[in-house]
Amino acid sequence: MFSSSEFRAVWMADLLSVAGDQIARVGLAVLVYTRTNSAALTALTYALTFLPALFSGPLSTVADRVPRRSFMVTADLARAVLVASMAVPGVPLPALSVLLLLTQILDPPHAAARSAALRDIFPMSAADPDDTRYRSAESLRTVTSQIAQLAAFPSGGLLAALNPQVALAGNALTFVVSAALVGLFLRRMPPAAETRKSTYWKAVRDARGTLRDNPRIRAIAAMAALAGLTVVPEGLAIPYTADAGASPAAAGLLMAADPLGNTLGAAVVPFLSAKLQQRIMAPLIAVTGIPLLFVVLTPPLPVAAVLFLFSGACGAYLLMNKTTLNTLVPESQRAGLIGRVRGRVNVSQGVVIAASGAVAGWIGPAPTIAVAGLLCLGTGACVTVMWHRAVQRETAS
């Protein structure tokens, strides 16, 4: 993988952008809180980052209609300008919100274009029938991105405490470097011939039609829509810790258990064959819920952390989900469909985290996490049946 200069460029650009984004999120939260002293407005600022996922499908279709390199470079430079504007001292809060929304709107289509470009860099070939190069590349990118996110939060908190504007300016710089890496090392890949022959709105309708009419892609989209259930432990780690009477530092360790488990699970994925991944990714959703059922007993924090870790490791089904989708969709619709499915993941996480917070206020965090586990079991069984029926139908035809 690292023998490819294109992969090295895309990988490093992604790593820089992810780390910069996390630092900027902390910096922006600190900036809003220091100006308003309002936890509600600070939380609202975070909530705004979920809204653009609703538009990810139509916007990601644009990434199929222009060269991927040009799209990624343009999106990075645009985000650099927007984030740099946020770093200017004295920008009013309404203007900050608008700049944040515009920045986040560009994230899903850029991520879709990046995933589609990885598929172009490592195409399926007779020499690699199991598609190991592409799947290993996507797994490595996922693992290192998650590590960067985990590492960026404490450093972002320190930097934001010193000067939140510096944190935002640093994020703008990461976008500039990302654009330079992609522009210099990724070759120009023209859009597919089918894309050039159709209008934008026809391309949007065609992508919707593929998602609606292809049973396997429809099942993958259903799996993605369940992603919100798997992050409930992370979202309720702080109230769970508070109920246990532990310190805020323990809450941070409990919050890290779920994403750490996901990172470990993603690291294992490249060692599984493509056929095995497609067989187990739907059942893993159900398995994700099993450790969460035991949280209803309100175990000690070390035990709860182990349960969250195991549940998070099973959440690596999303990586298998993404790589399988990328091998199924037509080249002319790749970014658009990836963007749509990614949007379902983001919206699901935002909605479920908000709902779980409300439910936890009613029945408590431990029972709420157990309910999420029960829902994972039930819905995981349903999408498993849905996926296997889709595979059998296509095999029979």
Closest CA to 188 of 268, 117, 276: 117
Do the domains 1-194 and 198-396 sit in the same CATH topology, yes or no? yes
Instruction: Give the C-alpha separation, 361 to 311, whole Å.
Output: 23
pLDDT at 373 over 90: yes
List, for residues 147-203, the tens digit of each pLDDT value: 877 776 555 555 555 577 777 888 899 899 999 999 999 888 777 655 656 677 777
At 359-368, the pLDDT tens digits run 888 898 899 9
Task: Give 240-292 pLDDT, tens digit per residue.
Answer: 887 877 765 676 678 778 888 988 999 898 888 888 999 999 999 999 999 99
Question: Could you tell me which of 63, 269, 250 has the C-alpha nearest to residue 146?
Answer: 269
What's at 345, amino acid-wise?
A: V
pLDDT band at 333 (very low <50, low <70, confident <90, very high): confident
HSE-CB at 293 with a 13 A cutoff on CA atoms is 10
**Structure tokens, 170:** 């640093």
Of residues 103 and 31, more confidence is placed in 103
Per-residue model confidence (pLDDT) at position 24: 67
* Confidence tier at 39 by pLDDT (50, 70, 90): low
Q: pLDDT digits over 75-129, tens only?
A: 999 999 998 998 888 888 888 878 888 887 888 788 888 888 888 888 876 566 6
Query: Looking at domain 1-194, does it have CATH number 1.20.1050.10?
Result: no
Any bridge partners for residue 125, and if so which? 128
pTM of the model: 0.78
Annotate the chain with three-state secondary structure.
CCCCHHHHHHHHHHHHHHHHHHHHHHHHHHHHHHHHCCHHHHHHHHHCCCHHHHHHHHHHHHHHHCCHHHHHHHHHHHHHHHHHHHCCCCCCHHHHHHHHHHHHHCHHHHHHHHHHHHHHHCCCECCECCCHHHHHHHHHHHHHHHHHHHHHHHHHHHHHHHCHHHHHHHHHHHHHHHHHHHHHHCCCCCCCHHHHCCCHHHHHHHHHHHHHHCHHHHHHHHHHCCHHHHCHHHHCHHHHHHHCCCCHHHHHHHHHHHHHHHHHHHHHHHHCCHHHHHHHHHHHHHHHHHHHHHHHHCCCHHHHHHHHHHHHHHCCHHHHHHHHHHHHCCHHHHHHHHHHHHHHHHHHHHHHHHHHHHHHHHHCHHHHHHHHHHHHHHHHHHHHHHHHHHHHHHHHC
| 317-328 helix and 274-293 helix, angle to the nearest 10 degrees | 150
Sorted by where each begins, the domain ranges of the chain are 1-194, 198-396
Name which residue leads in pLDDT, 214 or 131: 214
For residue 143, pLDDT over 80 is answered with yes
First-to-final CA distance of the chain: 36
Confidence of residue 328 (pLDDT cuts 50, 70, 90): confident
| Predicted local confidence at residue 51, as pLDDT | 65
Structure-block tokens of residue 53: 């996922």
CATH number given to 198-396: 1.20.1250.20
> What confidence score (pLDDT) does residue 127 get?
62
